[in-house]
């Protein structure tokens, strides 16, 4: 009789029976780390398998709908949102959704196709194209179809590899008792239902089974309502996430699963802004850590969009996180390389930008207040021009210090500001008054269209007319005063 012992090689032991460690390493701590590592890898692998199966089922059903729409609908129908939705409801079950998903709030396949068309029309509008052009819609759908086909082709080999890895190891899920069996009545409530009354006395035992690894779902509440955040304000949780070391990807994944609300474009941008602060302070290590975590949020947020964005279920989001972290751990994968390339580009950009800002700060006199002329309206600019000689304005202009006169004659606002940098606030304010009297500074505005020009022209004409009326009133008032003062007294000659 030959016994095959090779099957025992697949068992992952969490016991300390034959583990040898270095004398300087705490054996108990090492064993706990090993147990946790095995458990986390198993969860990650299962999440990836589930995610790939969900993708395959979803994309297969989406392709059926898109293919039938392309082959059946006319250009006019394809351009009409109402016609498209009626077609989907008529040809497919409007309630059909992914069977692998166990969330009630998961979007249906018809809703996902509707979201796809919304995304395509939005993209066309951003590109300045007609979102109702049937040919453009077909082109975008074809591009999307090719991407899905590429993903579907890759899913098969990936699933096969993950399944092989899973079957290489025996876990507690694979252990079955082949001889003994028992039945356990489970109840979701603390009290067992009352047994039916009969002539016999019966006893009912309710057993609740709880494991240490049973996930406890809870409502995730941010420390501050998201709609009350400033544009670049980071939540406390996001800052905490940014402090997780770059090599602790599993910890990052678990943190995101417990704080799904920080996965957003706004929180990514807010976190990225803090990297400028750390780099300006000279802490490149902290800057890299922030950028790394911010990019994780960015990539995971992009994956959420594949599942419908805000409509994605919690399970879908957790699956996306597991898939991405799995890709990131595989240093040879294209996703990991693309992530690393973007990380390097982002860090170099921030480093160079902070270097420029630092040099500019050194060039500016520290602690000295100066006056600088700048236009606050992006649609207007300040012009510098010396008045014509022989005019009253030129006489005022000659009172301006010589170095500022020379700057004005260059007609360059930058040159004028350079001279202002050398002046005290009091001296600069005196020059500004002379500028105002001599008309050295003027404003030119960029008008968007003819209506805006006509409106401005009308306002100027009204202002000129009012100014003329005011002058006439002043003259009349002066004449009245003159009559009172110079009118001869009665009886005088």
pLDDT of residue 296: 94
Q: Give the residue-averaged pLDDT of 55-65.
A: 84
User: Do residues 382 and 443 touch, judged by C-beta distance below 8 A?
Assistant: yes
Q: How far apart are CA 241 and CA 219, in angstroms?
A: 19
Helices (H), 259-313: 265-280, 284-306
Q: Give the residue-averaged pLDDT of 18-24.
A: 54
In tens, the pLDDT along 144-165 reads: 878 887 888 788 888 888 877 7
Most confident of 9-18, 307-316, 347-356: 347-356
User: Do residues 456 and 390 touch, judged by C-beta distance below 8 A?
Assistant: no
Which DSSP state fits 223?
A: S
Helix axes 284-306, 265-280, angle to 10 degrees: 170
Q: How far apart are CA 101 and CA 320, in angstroms?
A: 13
Would you call 98 exposed, middle or buried from its count of C-beta atoms within 10 A (0-12, 13-18, 19+)? buried
Q: How far apart are CA 345 and CA 333, in angstroms?
A: 19
What is the C-alpha radius of gyration for the chain, rounded to an integer number of angstroms? 37
Check whether 75 has a pLDDT greater than 70.
yes
Which DSSP state fits 11?
A: B
Report residue 337 as tokens. Answer: 């390389």
Per-domain boundaries in the chain: 27-172, 226-363, 380-445
Q: How far apart are CA 121 and CA 415, in angstroms?
A: 49
Residue 336 CB contacts under 8 Å (≥ 6 apart), including other chains: 327, 328, 329, 330
Q: Give the residue-averaged pLDDT of 418-425.
A: 88
In tens, the pLDDT along 240-269 reads: 999 999 989 999 999 999 999 999 989 999
Q: 445 by DSSP, 3-state: which?
A: strand
226-363: CATH superfamily: Cdc37, Hsp90 binding domain (1.20.58.610)
Q: How far apart are CA 113 and CA 25, in angstroms?
A: 56
* Nearest Cα to Cα of residue 292 among 278, 305, 280, 304: 278
User: Do residues 254 and 216 touch, judged by C-beta distance below 8 A?
Assistant: no
Would you call 449 exposed, middle or buried from its count of C-beta atoms within 10 A (0-12, 13-18, 19+)? exposed
Check whether 92 has a pLDDT greater than 90.
no
pLDDT of residue 61: 86
pLDDT of residue 152: 80
| Phi, psi (rounded to 5 degrees) for 482 | -65, -40
User: Do residues 290 and 274 touch, judged by C-beta distance below 8 A?
Assistant: yes
pLDDT of residue 201: 45
Average pLDDT of the chain?
Answer: 76
Angstrom CA distances, 59 to 73, 173, 397, 490, stand at 21, 29, 75, 109
Share of the chain above pLDDT 90, in %: 16
Q: Give the residue-averaged pLDDT of 294-300.
A: 92
Q: Give the residue-averaged pLDDT of 285-292.
A: 94
* Nearest Cα to Cα of residue 172 among 211, 209, 216: 211
User: Do residues 143 and 37 touch, judged by C-beta distance below 8 A?
Assistant: no
pLDDT of residue 31: 63
Q: How far apart are CA 259 and CA 253, in angstroms?
A: 10
Instruction: Please report which confidence band the pLDDT of residue 187 belongs to, taking 50, 70 and 90 as the band edges.
Output: very low
Q: How far apart are CA 406 and CA 423, in angstroms?
A: 15
Would you call 323 exposed, middle or buried from its count of C-beta atoms within 10 A (0-12, 13-18, 19+)? buried
In tens, the pLDDT along 355-407 reads: 887 777 666 555 556 778 876 555 567 888 999 998 999 999 999 999 999 99
Higher model confidence: residue 468 or residue 75? 75
Helix axes 27-72, 81-91, angle to 10 degrees: 100
Q: How far apart are CA 315 and CA 319, in angstroms?
A: 6
Instruction: Please report which confidence band the pLDDT of residue 189 belongs to, taking 50, 70 and 90 as the band edges.
Output: very low
pLDDT of residue 260: 92
pLDDT of residue 468: 67
Estimate to the nearest angstrom the gap between the alpha carbon of 111 and the chain centroid.
23
Q: How far apart are CA 16 and CA 27, in angstroms?
A: 8
pLDDT of residue 115: 86
Q: How far apart are CA 109 and CA 105, in angstroms?
A: 13
Report residue 437 as tokens. Answer: 């009297």
Q: Give the residue-averaged pLDDT of 416-427.
A: 88
């Amino acid at each position: 009789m030959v016994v095959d012992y090779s099957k025992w090689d697949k068992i992952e032991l969490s016991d300390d029976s034959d583990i040898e460690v270095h004398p300087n390493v705490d054996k108990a701590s090492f064993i706990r780390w090993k147990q946790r590592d095995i458990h986390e890898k198993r969860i990650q692998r299962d999440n990836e398998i589930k995610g790939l199966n969900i993708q395959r089922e979803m994309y297969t059903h989406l392709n059926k709908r898109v293919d039938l729409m392309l082959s059946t609908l006319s250009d006019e129908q394809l351009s009409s949102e109402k016609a498209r939705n009626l077609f989907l409801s008529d040809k497919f079950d409007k309630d059909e959704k992914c069977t692998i998903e166990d969330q009630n709030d998961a979007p249906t396949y018809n809703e996902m196709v509707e979201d796809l068309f919304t995304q395509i029309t939005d993209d066309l509008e951003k590109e300045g194209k007609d979102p109702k052009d049937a040919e453009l819609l077909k082109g975008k759908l074809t591009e999307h179809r090719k991407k899905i086909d590429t993903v579907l082709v890759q899913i098969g080999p990936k699933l096969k590899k993950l399944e092989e890895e899973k079957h290489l190891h025996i876990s507690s899920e694979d252990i079955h008792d082949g001889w003994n069996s028992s039945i356990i009545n489970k109840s979701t409530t603390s009290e067992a239902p009352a047994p039916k009354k009969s002539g016999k006395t019966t006893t009912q035992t309710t057993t609740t089974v709880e494991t240490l690894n049973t996930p406890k779902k809870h409502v995730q509440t941010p420390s501050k309502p998201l709609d009350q955040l400033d544009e670049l304000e980071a939540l406390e949780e996001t800052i905490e996430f940014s402090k997780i070391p770059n090599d602790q990807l599993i910890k990052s994944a678990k943190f995101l699963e417990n704080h799904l609300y920080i996965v957003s474009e706004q929180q990514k941008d807010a976190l990225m802004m803090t990297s400028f602060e750390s780099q300006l302070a000279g802490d490149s290590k902290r800057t890299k850590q922030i950028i790394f975590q911010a990019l994780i949020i960015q990539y995971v947020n992009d994956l959420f969009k594949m599942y419908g964005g805000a409509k994605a279920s919690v399970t879908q989001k957790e699956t996306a996180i597991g898939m991405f972290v799995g890709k990131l751990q595989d240093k040879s994968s294209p996703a990991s390389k693309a992530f690393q390339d973007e990380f390097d580009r982002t860090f170099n950009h921030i480093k160079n930008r902070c270097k420029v800002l630092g040099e500019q700060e050194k060039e500016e006199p520290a602690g000295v207040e100066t006056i600088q002329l700048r236009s606050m309206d992006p649609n207007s600019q300040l012009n510098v021009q010396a008045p014509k000689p022989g005019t009253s304005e030129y006489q005022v202009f000659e009172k301006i210090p010589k170095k500022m006169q020379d700057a004005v004659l260059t007609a360059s606002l930058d040159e004028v500001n350079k001279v202002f940098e050398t002046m005290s606030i009091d001296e600069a304010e005196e020059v500004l008054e002379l500028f105002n009297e001599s008309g050295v500074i003027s404003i030119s505005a960029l008008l968007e269209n003819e209506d805006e020009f006509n409106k401005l022209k009308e306002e100027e004409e009204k202002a000129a007319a009012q100014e003329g009326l005011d002058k006439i009133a002043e003259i009349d008032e002066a004449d009245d005063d003159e009559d009172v003062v110079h009118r001869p007294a009665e009886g005088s000659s």
